[in-house]
Structure 1
Amino acid sequence: MHYIFDVDGTISFDGRTIGTAIQAALVTLNQQHPVWFASARPIRDLMPIVPQLDQSVLIGANGAMVSRDQQIQVMAPITTADFEVVKQLIFSENLDYVVDGRWDLAVKVTTPNSILRQLDPAQQAKRISLAEIDESVKIILLGMSSDQQQKIHRQLSAETELEIVGHAGEGNLDLTARKINKLTTLRQLGVQDYVAFGNDQNDLKMLTQATTSVWINSKPKLAALGSQFDYQCEPADVAAMIQQLSC
């Protein structure tokens, strides 16, 4: 049985580290079962937060990237046509953004945002201009009002084939290529039966199809979503839940 873990809000609660008890539970679990990580972070930003388990399979950028045997593979980049639509929206709506290429990134964040502490923590990439990104694997549009987020979501749905994940109350949209998400990438990697832990909208498809699903109540605004899954768990109890489900 594979065990698949989202990272931020699921096993990490400060954007930088995984607590000692959770790390220990993951290391023990990994001695018995394959432990994989599936995160919204690109691989570049995922590797530093799981150093004890960096030999695990890492699914990054909401399924757009995979690291196996420390070799990075892009599952599908955003098409040129869809990227052009997004760039036009960025300019016309004056949007903040994080645009990830295969390794380097373009960033415009004009107001305080927690995502900044997650970007390239090991300082391995270059921050380049949006014009220099010739191929994007994931885009985050940031800091929108609720009305603006809904309007842009509708426009992107009508004009592109992008996979779109909206984050309630956060004013963000995560964009990847058509039919690229954590679940589709797990399927492409041959994983059918798995235990999944997650806490956010970008985990819903993965959790819904899991053999056993665990919802972490780290976002109060999303608490109602947890009732559809096998288990609900508070952040303080994650290590114990890992131990319980590893038996």
Structure 2
Amino acid sequence: MNFVFDIDGTLCFDGKTIELDIQEAIEQLIVAGHKVIFASARPIRDLRPVLPGKFHHFQLIGGNGAFTSFEGKIECVSFDEDTKIELYSFIEKYNCSYLADSDWDFAYTGEQGHPIYHHINQVDAKNIQLKELNNLSKLVLFNVEDSLLKELATLPVSITRYKSEDIYDISPHGINKVRGIHNFGIRDFIAFGNDQNDKCLFEQAIHSVCVGTQDVKKYASEVIYKEDVAKRIRNFLRQDIPCV
């Protein structure tokens, strides 16, 4: 079976590491013949430092589906030129703070104390000017006004709100984690997640596990707490689930 794991709030609870017990449970899935895919809102650039090196060559989905990586090769979907120009215009009009991602480098104007800033891999990537990015594949906006939301809704984009961080995640239209999974030719999967960007996973999975009690739990097959993650992964090994 294909197992799709979100990262932050699902496997990683400090923004930096995955507990050893959870790592070992995932490895047991692999040894048993199952396939593991990691799917995150983080771009691949920021996803790799959280994952142990032994998982870097796996199928990775970043930017909620805007980025995919396998065997270290990154592919991305960018905003079309007209949409990009409109986004530039809105940012200037509303004087927005933002995190903009390309396939590797980024542009950041938010506060350095914001949690998202500490997730950026600044060792291997550069913070450059927005319009100097080779491509624009993902945009996070801070302190968004209602009037800006209305204007964003007129564009061919996908918008996800993260209440806990008070940010809006903007991606090209139709981009989500399921799109990334389908890009790898995968249709049947079991999903672990915890936030609104995992709703699409829960709706498409043959079984889904929500970690924590956020609103998205109503779309999941079951709900567990973070201390139960490794145990729940291992429990799947005891079930009659076909391998890939």
Unpaired segments ≥5 residues, structure 2 = 239-244
Residues of 2 paired with 1:154 and 1:211: CA distance?
35
1:1-247 matches, cutoff 5 A? 1-31=1-31, 32-51=33-52, 52-74=54-76, 76-110=77-111, 112-120=113-121, 123-144=123-144, 148=145, 150-158=146-154, 160-217=155-212, 222=214, 224-247=215-238
1:152: how far off?
Answer: 2.4
Give the TM-score taking structure 1 as reference length: 0.90
1:153: how far off?
Answer: 2.5
The residue type equivalent to 2:142 in the other structure is: L
Runs of 4+ aligned structure 1 residues displaced above 3 Å come to none
Give the aligned partner of residue 241 of structure 2: none
Q: Secondary structure at the match of 1:48?
A: coil
What percentage of residue pairs aligned between the two structures are identical? 33
Residues of 2 paired with 1:226 and 1:10: CA distance?
12
CA RMSD of aligned residues (A): 1.5
Does structure 1 retain, via aligned residues, the 8 Å contact 2:94–2:148?
no
What do the CA deviations read for 1:92-124 (whole angstroms, capped 9, x no partner)? 212111101121100011363111111016x10
Give the TM-score taking structure 2 as reference length: 0.91
| Larger helix proportion of the pair | 1
Report the count of equivalent residues. 236
Residues of 2 paired with 1:228 and 1:179: CA distance?
20
Does structure 2 retain, via aligned residues, the 8 Å contact 1:101–1:138?
yes
Q: Secondary structure at the match of 1:84?
A: helix
Q: Secondary structure at the match of 2:153?
A: helix
